[in-house]
Amino acid sequence: MVRNVAALLAELESEDLYLLSGVEQGMRFSEWVSREKLPDFSGLTPEEVDYRLERCLKRKLIQKKTIQYEGYTLQFEGYDLLALNAFAERDTIAEFGSPLGVGKESDVYEVKSYKPLALKYHREGYTNFREVNRERDYTAENRHVSWMYTARKAAEREYEVIETLYPDVRVPRPIDQNRHAIVMEKMDGVELSRTKLEDEQVVPVLELLLRELTRAYDIGYVHADMSEYNVFVSEAGVTIFDWPQAVPTDHENADEFLRRDLRNLLGYFRRKYPRVVPSCDAETVARAITDGSFDSLATLAADEQ
């Protein structure tokens, strides 16, 4: 888990942020930025750079390494602060709250503006960079990428997708995006994996989800990472989140990803509620979604008889 550095924002001076931004700029060309190039990247004098490097090193926002030269690189905490500062300057965020969820590929915090919101920091590539770089479509064509690039592209992809889908599909309302971070509406409800549905609720909730996936497909996207951990259930219905791996429906593997999503979703409901879920396979549901004929599981199950 990356350290929560929101409290540090009040301690930092504008020149500290110039230094962090300068390191960020230099990392476009190399993982380790030469000390000699930092005045040009940051717009600070060499003497000011020395002072700001010491302050940022003390707060563990950057890392120093002496190789063939004295080099510096951003820590994720430094990158977090740059995004957080951008949101604060744009009045997207007024207050920083408690964690809402911490995972392998993202940290989510409650934040406030005119209402409670959620701030999601993408962490793709921080601990498993090689695996993410190999699997994610948005890095596949780039040989020289860093964890910073990977996380930023994931945030940009997710924000683009939910901005396209909202409000036609039940996804979190997008508010703002900067670097590797997204601000979105805070979701109500409980994660599907932790929800115990009554028998009479099971099929209606499953069909709600299938209709949302159908609408997403009609608009042009497949989630491609669907599971019981990416859905919130509330009295108002369902919300599907975590869209950074989404692919457009004209992607060469889109239909296979759709079938995988459906196998995951139907498999979860059948394991948890085996007596209630109709015996309709993922292939049949996928065909109905892709040809625009999906109506209900009961109808599909009856057609299979």
* Active site residue ranges: 225
Do residues 261 and 268 make contact, with C-beta atoms less than 8 angstroms apart? no
Rounded Cα distance between 244 and 47, Å, is 41
Q: How many residues does the chain have?
A: 305
CB-based contact 256:282 (threshold 8 Å): no
Report d(CA 123, CA 79) in Å as an integer: 11
Are the CB atoms for 160 and 150 separated by under 8 Å? no
**Residue 36: DSSP 8-state:** G
How far apart, in whole angstroms, are the C-alpha atoms of residue 70 and residue 89? 32
Of 101, 134, 135, 124, nearest in space to 229 by CA: 101
Do 1 and 102 touch, CB atoms closer than 8 A?
yes
Give the long-range contacts of residues 82-86, CB within 8 A, separation 24 or more. 82/17, 82/20, 82/21, 82/24, 82/179, 83/121, 83/178, 83/179, 83/180, 83/181, 84/5, 84/6, 84/9, 84/119, 84/181, 85/9, 85/12, 85/17, 86/178, 86/179
Q: Residues 78, 48: contact at Cβ < 8 Å?
A: no
The C-alpha angle 197, 207, 304, rounded to 5 degrees, equals 115
